Every structure is written in structure tokens, then in C-alpha cells.
């Protein structure tokens, strides 16, 4: 089964700027291309930082009030300093938050949330820019056709169900607009739990409706081996 990564959803034709790009060039680029940020690269296409609209707005926010305050935090002092900046090197946020090519989309989503950023430059093993992935790009997995999602669900469950299937009641999956309904019967309740968890991990799954039956509720088996629950 295919594991979806940032490579599957990222933009590959990435616009970048050198560290020497001027403030006005950056404004012109972001407005004309409808970008909210642009990566800054060196001569070897390695990502040095990212300049965002927020970085550029410091010149407006602190116009005429650029001098640092004694009581201000280090972050606020850095913001004021950008009000006097004239190049990408002075404006960019650095070190940049990036992800490696091949990073699973779930890991990329966690990075976006943890770092509170809207986009991630994608780099190779040498730190060179190969793409960029945004929050919207990650949502593209939910545009997958239902039949593709169903095939991936069944492929993932095939291993989980080894040795625990019940004759005559095979586990099947139906998918409608990303909602997966699991039907059939297995030997143990723990297999049901694993099946639902694995199904949720398939790219494009919106919700899992569990109608699976089971013979033994192994979560209620005590160390003595006594079975208290049978479906």
C-alpha cells in the first residue's frame, strides 16, 4: 500500500529569491504572484530562510519607531530590526523550518502545527530546495477517488486480519466520499480495534464506520484465562 508523502502533493516549480533580493523586489514578487511567502536560497539552492508577508509588514508596523525598547523581548527586538531591513538576508526568518523529501504527510502536518507556519520548503539530503508544501496541499489527499481509498484500506487490513478471519463473514470495506464502512467478522475484539486504527491512517479517509463483529472480547480476558465477554 502506498504511503503518501510530501512529494505527492508539493509544488515542485518553486519560486525562490537570493539573499540579496531587495525589499521592493520581494513586495513586487509576493503581490504579483499572490504568494504569502518565498524561500531564500544560496548559490547552491540550499534554503537559508523564508521571507513572509509578516516579515515585510514590520516596515509598516514599526515605521518611525524602530529603536528597541529596554524591556522588550528578544523576539520583539528582532521584529523592530526588520523595519530597517533592505534585503532578504535581513528580513528572512532563519533558520528555516523545512522537511525532507519523502516525509509522510502526517509528519508534515504535525510540523506545520508545532511550528505554527503555513508552508514548508521541501529539501533534499543536502538541504537544496526541491519543492514547497502548504496546508492546502496536504488537504489534497481528501480529493482521492473512493475506489483508490478502498483499495488501500483492504491492502492494509489484509495483514492485520491474517489468522483472525472468520469463515463465511469476510471483512469488506465500502467508501463513500472518504467515509469508510467496515463490515464482516473477526475472531477477536483487539483485531477490530487494530483494523479501525489502520483504516484511519489511510490517506484520504475522513471517517470510519465500524460494524465489525467479533467472537471473543479478549480485552476482558483475565490472566486466569477466563472469558467474560463473547459477542
The domain that holds 157 is classified in CATH as 3.30.1340
pLDDT in 10s for each residue of the chain, 231 residues: 678 999 999 999 999 999 999 999 999 999 999 999 999 999 999 999 999 999 999 888 876 665 655 565 566 666 777 888 899 999 999 999 999 999 999 999 999 999 999 999 999 999 999 999 999 999 999 999 999 999 999 999 988 887 777 777 889 999 999 999 999 999 889 899 999 999 999 999 999 999 999 988 876 664 445 544 444
CA angle 129, 134, 139 (to 5 degrees): 135
Question: In this predicted model, what pLDDT tens digit does every residue of 71-120 receive, in sequence order?
Answer: 655 666 667 778 888 999 999 999 999 999 999 999 999 999 999 999 99
* Burial class for 160, CB neighbours closer than 10 Å (0-12, 13-18, 19+): middle
Residue 48: inside a domain: yes
SS3 140: helix
Note whether 191 and 214 are same-domain residues.
yes
Whether residue 97 sits in one domain with residue 15 = yes
Q: Contact, 47 vs 69, CB < 8 A? A: no
* Residue 148: burial class (beta carbons within 10 Å; 0-12, 13-18, 19+): middle
- pLDDT at residue number 229: 44
Q: What is the span of the domain harbouring residue 88? A: 6-140
Inter-CA distances, 26 with 23, 42, 215, Å: 5, 16, 64
Residue ending a domain, among 140, 168, 187, is: 140
Claim: this prediction has a pTM higher than 0.95: no
Omega within 30 of 0 (cis) for the link into 37: no
Q: What pLDDT, on the 0 to 100 scale, is given for residue 195?
A: 93
Domain identity same for 206 and 173 = yes
Residue 164: strand, helix, or coil: coil
Helix ranges (H only) for the chain are 6-9, 23-33, 53-61, 74-82, 88-91, 105-115, 135-138, 146-160, 189-200
Same domain for 67 and 179, yes or no, is no
User: What pLDDT score does 68 carry?
Assistant: 57
Helices (H) and strands (E) in the chain, counts: 9, 11
Whether residue 107 is found in the same domain as residue 185:
no
Biggest CA–CA distance in the chain, Å, is 78
DSSP state letter for 180: E
Distance CA 80, CA 231 (A): 66
Amino acid at each position: 500500500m502506498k504511503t503518501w508523502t510530501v512529494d505527492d502533493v508539493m509544488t515542485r516549480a518553486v519560486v525562490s529569491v537570493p539573499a540579496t533580493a531587495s525589499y521592493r523586489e520581494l513586495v513586487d514578487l509576493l503581490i504579483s504572484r499572490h504568494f504569502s511567502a518565498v524561500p531564500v536560497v544560496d548559490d547552491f539552492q540550499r534554503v537559508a530562510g523564508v521571507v513572509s508577508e509578516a516579515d515585510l509588514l514590520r516596515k509598516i508596523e514599526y515605521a518611525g519607531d524602530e529603536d528597541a525598547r529596554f524591556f522588550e523581548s528578544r523576539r520583539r527586538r528582532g521584529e523592530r530590526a526588520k523595519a530597517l531591513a533592505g534585503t532578504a538576508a535581513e528580513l528572512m526568518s532563519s533558520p528555516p523550518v523545512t522537511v525532507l523529501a519523502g516525509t509522510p504527510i502526517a509528519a508534515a502536518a504535525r510540523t506545520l502545527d508545532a511550528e505554527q507556519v503555513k508552508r514548508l520548503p521541501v529539501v533534499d539530503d543536502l538541504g537544496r530546495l526541491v519543492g514547497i508544501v502548504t496546508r492546502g496541499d496536504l488537504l489534497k489527499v481528501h480529493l482521492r477517488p473512493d475506489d483508490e481509498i478502498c483499495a488501500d484500506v483492504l491492502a492494509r487490513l489484509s495483514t492485520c486480519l491474517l489468522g483472525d478471519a472468520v469463515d463465511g463473514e469476510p471483512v469488506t470495506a465500502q467508501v463513500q466520499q472518504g467515509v469508510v464502512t467496515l463490515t464482516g467478522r473477526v475472531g477477536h475484539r483487539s483485531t477490530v480495534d487494530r483494523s479501525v486504527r489502520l483504516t484511519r491512517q489511510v490517506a484520504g479517509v475522513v471517517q470510519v464506520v465500524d460494524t465489525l463483529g467479533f467472537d471473543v472480547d479478549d480485552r476482558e480476558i483475565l490472566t486466569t484465562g477466563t472469558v467474560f465477554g463473547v459477542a
